[in-house]
Structure 1
Amino acid sequence: MEIVHLLRAVAVELGRHSARFAQRNGMHPTDVRALVALMDAARAGEETTAGRLGAALGLNSAGTTALVDRLERAGHVRRLRGERDRRKVTIVVDERAVALGWSHFGPLLHRAVDLLRDYDERELAAIRGFLAGVLDATAQGG
């Protein structure tokens, strides 16, 4: 249980870190979650529509539209129309938002990467497997 309690403590501290970022930048915590979801999708080579973003965040259509409008007004995202199908609109994170995020989260991410350098491949595989299992259990509701 010690490791589970440490994981819970890490989750709480990450939430606080994210909340400080949101507060300092006049954002709602859901705005930060949306930006993370969009950046994760881009890193995976996936395009994100408003519908896909709303589903990822558990928002209805109206809530998703309000979220994207708010992020677009703040200059954090852009709506891009498809080249082949102009009806298809994807949401992309503006580079300024990426830079803003790195200015806040970068030191923490660098420290985490530095900590991982102390582990061998077998240990990293165990850490990866544990975190993937917890993520899967969480996504399934416990």
Structure 2
Amino acid sequence: MPTPSSPDPAPEMEIVHLLRAVTVELGLHSARFANQNGMHPTDVRALIALMDARRAGEEMTAGRLGAVLGLNSAGTTALVDRLEQAGQVRRVRAERDRRRVVIEVEERAVELGQAFFGPLIERSVELLRAYDERQLAAIRGFLGGVREAAAEGRE
């Protein structure tokens, strides 16, 4: 926030600060969901990763899930065991290679997430409908670039 003796922040920095504030709010929103459902925040991140894989038509092994979440093998096993015991996920044989075990999200978990996150998603979609295709492409490009930049820190 500019003070009387400092210049206005550059428009780019204003957007970066706004993105940071959005990230904080989304984190708090996700933490409320985890708290209300007796989950750890990592459980929520795992369910999101599993739903993203499902939407993309990709199989998610425990090893891949651990890599996505930055967990070691023991941590991933504990996470999947916890989610399976809670009825949120199931272990099944892979379709293409029956020797592999993949983790799938249960419909119950999808419905639970939709009930909580649905209003926020609907509001976000409503906001995006106000933009034309060129503006949407710019938003998509910016967010994709920020995501890639953040992911570089993982490697």
Bin of the TM-score, shorter chain as denominator length: over 0.9
CA distance in 1, matches of 2:70, 2:109: 22
Match of 1:20? 32
Q: How far 1:84 moved relative to its partner?
A: 5.8
- Shift >4 Å, 4+ stretches: none
- Structure 2 residue aligned with 1:124, among 126, 133, 136? 136
Scaled by the length of structure 2, the TM-score of the pair is: 0.89
Pair 1:54 & 2:59 matched: no
Q: CA RMSD in A?
A: 1.2
Structure 1 residues not aligned, in runs of 5+: none
Structure 2 residues not aligned, in runs of 5+: 1-12
Q: 1:84 to 1:106 in 2, by over 3 A?
A: closer
Q: Radius of gyration: which is bigger?
A: 2
Q: 1:122 to 1:25 in 2, by over 3 A?
A: same
CA distance in 1, matches of 2:119, 2:110: 14
Q: How far 1:52 moved relative to its partner?
A: 0.4
After TM superposition, the structure 1 = structure 2 runs for residues 1-142 of structure 1, keeping only pairs within 5 Å, are: 1-82=13-94, 85-141=97-153
Q: What residue identity is the alignment partner of 2:57?
A: G
Paired residue total? 142
CA distance in 1, matches of 2:15, 2:59: 36
Q: How far 1:85 moved relative to its partner?
A: 4.0
Scaled by the length of structure 1, the TM-score of the pair is: 0.97
CA distance in 1, matches of 2:131, 2:81: 43
Q: How far 1:74 moved relative to its partner?
A: 0.2
